[in-house]
């Protein structure tokens, strides 16, 4: 019996993604998660340092979704080296596999870098829509890489009132280059390169952290009342900033507790999670209170669930097969 694998490179993934509502796909998976129709084993992680002394890592994330339309199973392998941008490469990249539920063989393999960023951006968009300020028109981005690019692209489409973005990156040249590229791509936006990270945090009511920092640096008193923080990256907020939030939403409490190296995981292993308001999936399913920032600030802190990648890549695979796209590889 012949065994085939459908391979989807970046250009094919992008073509397929244009015909998919990525936010709607992530919404569905989050509802599945809240309804306990998912399987998420502990992630595998490998860390090392390359010859230039830069931290590197490989993450392997398995996930399954039980659906009436057909169960989904898959694996994302996403690797990163901190100094890749200096090589002209995105910091992170990899592949996501979708498995045949009957034979367990991989049936599709897709480039993971774009879709990983897209599912993260879609999660942010949902969290801002459901939990962000009632009215806002500006956002600050800490970090000027791939995640910031895709967040802005998606937010421009989803939030027509957005007219100003503030940017900060430790690399000033990168900030300025990113500002120029963003202005050219989205001419209706006013793009401001902030002079300091504190200025960026205080400049807008919606703050999105997309850095590689493993050292917390944003204290609670930097965050103005009425703000919403999408804490997308690793450890930007200090423990005090997390504990001082008016409300704190996560994607999966157990997933966070399993990673005590990250600041919120450390906190959850140290004391009861009474300061966690709930999950975004529970908000969508109506089983968790909705708290928008008023006298304080609200934080969304997702760790990144494998099932989001599996659900999104499966949707891209369906689209690719409908359009007859991709490269078929003969495994045997």
The whole-number pLDDT of residue 271 equals 76
Q: Which residues contact 280 (CB under 8 A, 6 or more apart)?
A: 30, 123, 126, 127, 130, 131, 249, 250, 251, 300, 302
The dihedral through the CA atoms of 226, 153, 279, 300 has a sign that is: negative
Spacing of C-alpha 127 from chain mean position: 11
Q: For 139-184, what is each residue's pLDDT tens digit?
A: 999 999 999 999 999 999 999 999 999 999 999 999 999 999 999 9
Query: Tokens 């997702």 appear where?
Result: 302
Closest CA to 166 of 153, 179, 154: 179
The whole-number pLDDT of residue 259 equals 85
Q: Distance between CA atoms of 292 and 133, rounded to whole angstroms?
A: 6
The whole-number pLDDT of residue 272 equals 77
The whole-number pLDDT of residue 1 equals 65
Are 281 and 275 a contacting pair, CB within 8 Å?
no
Is 207 in a helix, a strand, or coil? strand
The whole-number pLDDT of residue 39 equals 96
Q: Flag residues of the chain having pLDDT under 70.
A: 1
The whole-number pLDDT of residue 152 equals 98
Q: Distance between CA atoms of 209 and 35, rounded to whole angstroms?
A: 29
pTM across the whole model: 0.94
288 by Cβ neighbours in 10 Å (0-12 / 13-18 / 19+) ranks as: middle
User: Can you give 35-97 as a three-state secondary structure string?
Assistant: CCCEECCCCEEEEEECCCCCEEEEEEEEEEECCCCCCEEEEEEEEEECCHHHHCCCCEEEEEE
Task: Output helix, strand, coil percentages for the chain, rounded to the nearest 5.
Answer: 35, 25, 35
The whole-number pLDDT of residue 332 equals 83
CA distances from 237 to 13, 245, 276 (A): 33, 11, 15
The dihedral through the CA atoms of 267, 234, 17, 158 has a sign that is: positive
Query: What is the token pair recorded at 99?
Result: 């498995």
């Amino acid at each position: 019996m012949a065994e085939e694998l459908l391979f989807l490179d970046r250009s094919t993934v992008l073509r397929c993604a244009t015909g998919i509502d990525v936010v709607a796909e992530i919404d569905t998976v989050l509802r599945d998660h809240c309804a306990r129709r998912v399987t998420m084993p502990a992630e595998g992680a490998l860390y090392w340092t390359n010859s230039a002394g830069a931290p590197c890592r490989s993450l392997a994330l398995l996930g399954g979704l039980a659906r009436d339309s057909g169960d989904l199973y898959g694996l994302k392998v996403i690797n990163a080296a901190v100094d890749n941008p200096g090589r002209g490469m995105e910091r992170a990249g990899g592949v996501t596999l979708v498995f045949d539920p009957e034979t367990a063989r991989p049936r599709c393999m897709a480039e993971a870098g774009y879709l990983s960023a897209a599912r993260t951006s879609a999660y942010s968009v949902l969290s801002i829509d459901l939990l962000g300020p009632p009215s806002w028109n500006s956002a600050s981005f800490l970090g000027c890489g791939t995640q910031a690019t895709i967040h802005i692209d998606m937010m421009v489409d989803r939030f027509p009132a957005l007219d100003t973005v503030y940017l900060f990156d430790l690399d000033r040249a990168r900030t300025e280059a990113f500002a120029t590229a963003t202005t050219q791509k989205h001419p209706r936006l006013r793009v401001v390169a902030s002079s300091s990270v504190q200025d960026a945090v205080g400049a807008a009511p919606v703050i999105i952290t997309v850095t590689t920092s493993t050292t917390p640096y944003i204290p609670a008193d930097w965050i103005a009342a009425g703000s919403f923080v999408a804490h997308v990256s690793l450890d930007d907020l200090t423990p005090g900033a997390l504990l001082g939030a008016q409300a704190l939403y996560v994607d999966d409490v157990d997933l966070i507790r399993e990673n005590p190296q990250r600041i919120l995981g450390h906190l959850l292993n140290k004391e009861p999670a009474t300061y966690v308001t709930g999950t975004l999936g529970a908000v969508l399913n109506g089983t968790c209170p909705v708290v928008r920032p008023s006298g304080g600030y609200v934080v969304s802190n997702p760790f990144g669930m494998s099932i989001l990648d599996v659900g999104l890549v499966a949707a891209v695979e369906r689209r690719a097969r409908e359009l007859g796209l991709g490269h078929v590889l003969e495994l045997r």
